[in-house]
Chains A and B, each alone.
Chain A
Amino acid sequence: MPQGDYIELHRKRSGYRLDHFDRKRKKEAREVHKRSKTAQNALGIKGKMFAKKRYAEKALMKKTLAMHEESSSRRKVDDEVHDGAIPSYLLDRENTTRAKILSNTIKQKRKEKAGKWDVPLPKVRPVAEDEMFKVIRTGKRKTKQWKRMITKVTFVGQGFTRKPPKYERFIRPSGLRFTKAHVTHPELKCTFNLEMIGVKKNPNGPMYTSLGVVTRGTIIEVNVSELGLVTPAGKVVWGKYAQVTNNPENDGCINAVLLV
């Protein structure tokens, strides 16, 4: 028979000890002091675990006390003045739009961190380095191989001046430099020949972005002042992003779709 059953069996047959209930009561009363002693003397990880348990108990006790203290009588009006005052015609309406905007900004920040954007071409074939660069041999015996020529289309900008030829590592051939792009508006379905302002991001890497290489999937910034777009504040929009949709080095022109 299990241990507790013997005790029960004895209790059934002979009843409790004469001082059982007194002893029980006193032992429970001493529990509090014993507990506090162990709490004060517990060190290290033991102490931490105990403290955590104790804190949870305390919080629960406070809550039950507060619940009991709540009075049943309710006051006529809410006395507190809340923030976010709205006029009477908006009072009974649940403005879910504000919360939506907030969660949207949070989602946007997360996307920015992850580097994912809502673009027409989310994934492009990665361009390998040996495809992008051609090794140029220089030097008297043509043994030095530190120069590279970029075999893809680049955008350099108006004020571009080459580094002194002895020191330039990356050569951008002028035949592959373009200033204009054929940009299609996705909704109006018409194409404009717009000047480029710069290369925003090349999906193959930040190095290509800084070099100004334009391959398929690159985000470029174009001058849209001739489209006549206006912001609600009354300001005229003159620069917008567009994503390149073709392989410019094969076609000889840059085709892009405007990101609205």
Chain B
Amino acid sequence: MEAEMEVKNKNNVMCLLSDPEGNPLGAPMYLPQDAGPKELQITVNQLLTNEEKLPYAFYISDQELLVQLGEYLQKNKVSVEKVLPIVYQPQSVFRIRPVNRCSATISGHTEAVLSVAFSPDGQQLASGSGDTTVRLWDLNTQTPMFNCTGHKNWVLSIAWSPDGKHLVSGSKAGELICWDPKTGKPSGNSLVGHKKWITGISWEPLHLQAPCRRFVSSSKDGDARIWDVTLRKSVICLSGHTLAITCVKWGGDGVIYTGSQDCTIKVWETTQGKLIRELKGHGHWVNSLALSTEYVLRTGAFDHTHKHYASPAEMKEAALKRYIKMKGNAPERLVSGSDDFTMFLWEPAVSKHHKTRMTGHQQIVNHVYFSPDGKWIASGSFDKSVKLWNGITGNFVAAFRGHVGPVYQISWSADSRLLLSCSKDSTLKVWDIRTKKLKQDLPGHADEVFAVDWSPDGEKVASGGRDRVLKLWMG
């Protein structure tokens, strides 16, 4: 009898399933040792009484569970007597295919391509270049569609409005021009106000106002301006930084974050342009900012279902739903990458002190980006590596090495399973988040690659650089 009891105990493990925020799902239960991720998925789906079977990933103390429970216990020598905490995380329902071939090389720009952006619905592609033009490309035929001239100097940054109706580009001369993407013509005169070049543009989220009217632009002259496209002028000027502002982001709560070369990040409110908070801590220039809800704000109401919306009010509701679902109960998180080789994770709504300090890079951190589901943070640095961090706690997870030149920009796939990085060594590399390894190497550019973007529907990747051609990659 005793032997039988012992045998029974050996086959079962006491587990407690909990969600990423720590709330337990039911009471601790016995699970057989030969249960793997698939069986756990079925269990979780039943316990949560989901109608559709959603995919989940399971983590035990931050390590993903890929094998059966029994093997895991043996490998890690976890005691059977204690309750084993397993954290489950929902994964996206759709799965993006990794891109592996260059489907088209489109030339057209006569100078280096400086920025590339897909529209929020993924149907259109725009690129800004050093030859002072913005070009719109047709994705179906993979040929140039419109050539938008009007800028006086290099086009440094472009941004689509979340409803896809406007495209704004900023140049080295300090002017901004708003274009109509359907015709390729400017919507009016150029917006002048900044005295030096434009470093970043960010639109107001769709769930705060629809149709999209306002956007904020940051410049080297140290101030950020909020513009209104219908009034065609600068509404508010946010001045306060003493040196150039390197990046600006409009948050989902209706605040604007600006990171500057004076080592501070300022948080502004948008109705009157007052400074709410100042986040200090960095030792050198703040190069890049990223918000946990950034992807949802960028894509607005569009998601993988390719739904078309009739009225702005509908789009606003849909965008609001998506935003709330993405945000959950946690406050919005902000990560900043700086020239002092470190990154800080902040919760600006909670406190003005940083939550975590993320060190590890050996050169300046050039670009930081939250994954679309907010679980991971990726950082590209001039030390030729891309590092992956936990998006909630800021702990280091993995480093991706493979590039032989400084990593310039990174981009996530819409399902958060793949990460793309472009570098000075003229290659793009696709990294798999699950295996933490290189998935695909995409050589082909003749010179440094300056900008890369993954379309929100996950079908295509566009990249442009010093060799003046735009390359489209497909799976």
Contacts and interface: CB of A to CB of B under 8 A. Distances in A.
- Chain B at the A interface: mostly helix, strand, loop or mixed? loop
Nearest to B175: A77
B184 to A, nearest CB: 21
B114 A86 contact: yes
A90 to B, nearest CB: 8
B348 interface: no
- Most A-side CB within 10 Å, residue of B115, B129, B197, B425: B197
B461 to A, nearest CB: 18
B112 A85 contact: yes
- Most A-side CB within 10 Å, residue of B114, B115, B261: B114
A77 B157 CA distance: 18
A89 B115 contact: no
B338 interface: no
Contacts of B246: 88-89
Contacts of B408: 87, 89
B268 interface: no
A88 B132 contact: no
A79 B174 CA distance: 11
A248 to B, nearest CB: 36
Interface in B110-151: 111-112, 114-115, 129-132
A111 to B, nearest CB: 24
A85 B111 contact: yes
A260 to B, nearest CB: 15
A245 B115 CA distance: 52
A15 interface: no
B200 interface: yes
A81 interface: yes
Given A85-B114, A85-B129, A89-B408, A234 B152 contact: no
B287 A89 contact: yes
Contact of A77 (B173, B199, B367, B443): B173
B413 interface: no
A234 B451 CA distance: 22
B422 to A, nearest CB: 11
Given A87-B451, A91-B197, A234-B443, A79 B152 contact: yes
Contacts of B198: 88
Given A81-B132, A85-B114, A86-B114, A232 B427 contact: yes
7 contacts: A76-B195, A77-B173, A84-B112, A85-B112, A87-B451, A88-B200, A91-B156
Given A85-B112, A91-B197, A232-B404, 11 more contacts: A77-B195, A77-B196, A79-B152, A83-B111, A84-B130, A85-B114, A85-B129, A85-B131, A85-B154, A89-B366, A232-B427
